């Protein structure tokens, strides 16, 4: 796998090939991320900052480069995460569905094999996810939760670092074309 370091914008649709994954790999990675999010912080609280389901949604949506697939991946992962959390059903589903759609839309236009671009996009989508969740909790559930900007920025950076490392591993699971 070689990463392109010079070009970020794709000049043609043919240039940005859709990455293919086996269905069982996508399901297994998503399930592992959801179970990690639900159970590992119970035993190791210092890992509670990781938002692995979000990182998986961003990766698969960027690589698939298809808005419908991005919507579907985000919705399935978000609703599965909702079912294992104490949050009302649909909160993560809505947020991750929108992240999946926007990530796949960006994947159509940009060379998402670029490591620096992956870092920036992961950071941006973490912030977008947190802000969207905050807005929905205040608007739909009338919860008065505070948005700690400094903590959110720090957690976004940490998730982006973990995300880039995770994406490098997930690149090895792509089908050869």
159 three-state secondary structure:
helix
In 3-state terms, what secondary structure has residue 133?
Answer: helix
1-10, 102-111, 162-171: least confidently modelled range: 1-10
27 CB-near residues (< 8 Å, 6+ apart): none
111, part of any domain: yes
Dist CA 167 CA 10 (whole Å) = 20
Q: What's the mean pLDDT in 119-125? A: 97
Structural domain range at position 92: 20-171
**Into how many domains does the chain fold?**
1
pLDDT classification of 1: cutoffs 50, 70, 90: very low
Task: Please indicate, yes or no, if residue 162 is contained in any of the structural domains.
Answer: yes
pTM of the prediction? 0.88
d(CA 67, CA 79): 18
pLDDT confidence bin for 20, thresholds 50/70/90 = confident
Residue 10 lies in a domain: no
> How many angstroms from the chain centroid is the CA of residue 17?
20
What token pair was written down for 24? 């069982």
Quick check: is 15 in a domain? no
Q: Within a domain: residue 177?
A: no
pLDDT band at 17 (very low <50, low <70, confident <90, very high): low
Percent of the chain with pLDDT over 70: 89
23-34 CB burial, b ≥16 within 10 A, e <16: eeebeebbeebb
What is the structure's pLDDT at 7? 53
Q: Is the pLDDT of residue 111 over 90?
A: no
H helical segments located in 15-51 = 23-43
CB 34 within 8 A of CB 73: no
Any domain includes 4: no
Q: Say if 11 falls within a structural domain.
A: no
pLDDT at 168 over 60: yes
> Is 76 among the domain residues?
yes
């Amino acid at each position: 796998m070689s990463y392109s370091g010079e070009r970020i914008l794709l000049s043609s649709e043919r240039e940005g090939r859709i990455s293919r994954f086996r269905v069982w790999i996508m399901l297994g990675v998503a399930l592992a991320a959801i179970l990690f999010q639900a159970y590992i912080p119970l035993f190791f609280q210092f890992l509670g900052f990781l938002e692995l389901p979000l990182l998986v949604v961003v990766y698969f949506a960027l690589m698939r480069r298809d808005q419908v697939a991005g919507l579907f991946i985000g919705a399935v992962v978000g609703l599965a995460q909702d079912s294992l959390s104490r949050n009302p059903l649909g909160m993560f589903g809505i947020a991750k569905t929108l992240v999946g759609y926007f990530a796949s839309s960006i994947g159509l236009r940009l060379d998402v094999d670029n490591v620096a671009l992956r870092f920036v996009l992961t950071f941006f989508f973490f912030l977008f996810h947190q802000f969207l969740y905050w807005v929905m909790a205040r608007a739909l559930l009338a919860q008065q939760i505070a948005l700690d900007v400094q903590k959110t920025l720090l957690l976004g950076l940490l998730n982006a670092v973990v995300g880039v490392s995770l994406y490098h591993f997930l690149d090895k699971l792509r089908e050869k074309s």
